[in-house]
Amino acid sequence: MGTNYRLCKGIYIEPEAIAYKDKQAIRDNFMKALEEILKNGNYVGLATHDKYLIDDSYKLIKELNISKDKFEFQMLLGVREDLRNKINNDGFKIIIYVPFGKDWYAYSFRRLQENPELTGHIVKEFFTFRK
């Protein structure tokens, strides 16, 4: 039956001793892990907004002939909606993650404190005009 995985690039800033720091090394390792998970018959949630990884995942899924009931894409609400719509239009399953409940603000703030680089992305998303 296999295991149910969520595969993502960690958001927290970690020391070099325990984490890949180079952008391409992180991507390469994501793809290596994805291949291993899929080849072993597991279910995987691809939790990324990185177009490079989404394109490469498409290629790998095709190459390994993986059926659609073995994976889904996952994104955070409000992030890369263009990509989210593309995945949906391409006929793949896409799940949107929404923080909710009474502690949503503390949770979101803690995540931002861990990686202040993301604040810029979020401010940009907030002020982007959409029809």
Ligand X SMILES: Cc1cc2nc3c(=O)[nH]c(=O)nc-3n(C[C@H](O)[C@H](O)[C@H](O)COP(=O)(O)OP(=O)(O)OC[C@H]3O[C@@H](n4cnc5c(N)ncnc54)[C@H](O)[C@@H]3O)c2cc1C
Where along the sequence are the contacts to ligand X (CB under 6 A)? 8-12, 47-50, 74-76, 79-80, 97, 118, 121-122
* Nearer residue to ligand X within complex by CB, 14 or 36: 14
CB of 55 to ligand X, least distance (A): 12
Distance CA 131, CA 117 (A): 27
Exposure on the CB side of residue 90, measured as CA atoms within 13 A: 16
Tell me the C-alpha distance between 99 and 41, whole Å: 30
Between 64 and 96, CB nearer to ligand X: 96
Taking the alpha carbons at both ends of the chain, their separation in whole angstroms is: 44
Shortest distance, position 84 Cβ to ligand X, whole Å: 10
Least Cβ distance, residue 69 to ligand X (angstroms): 19
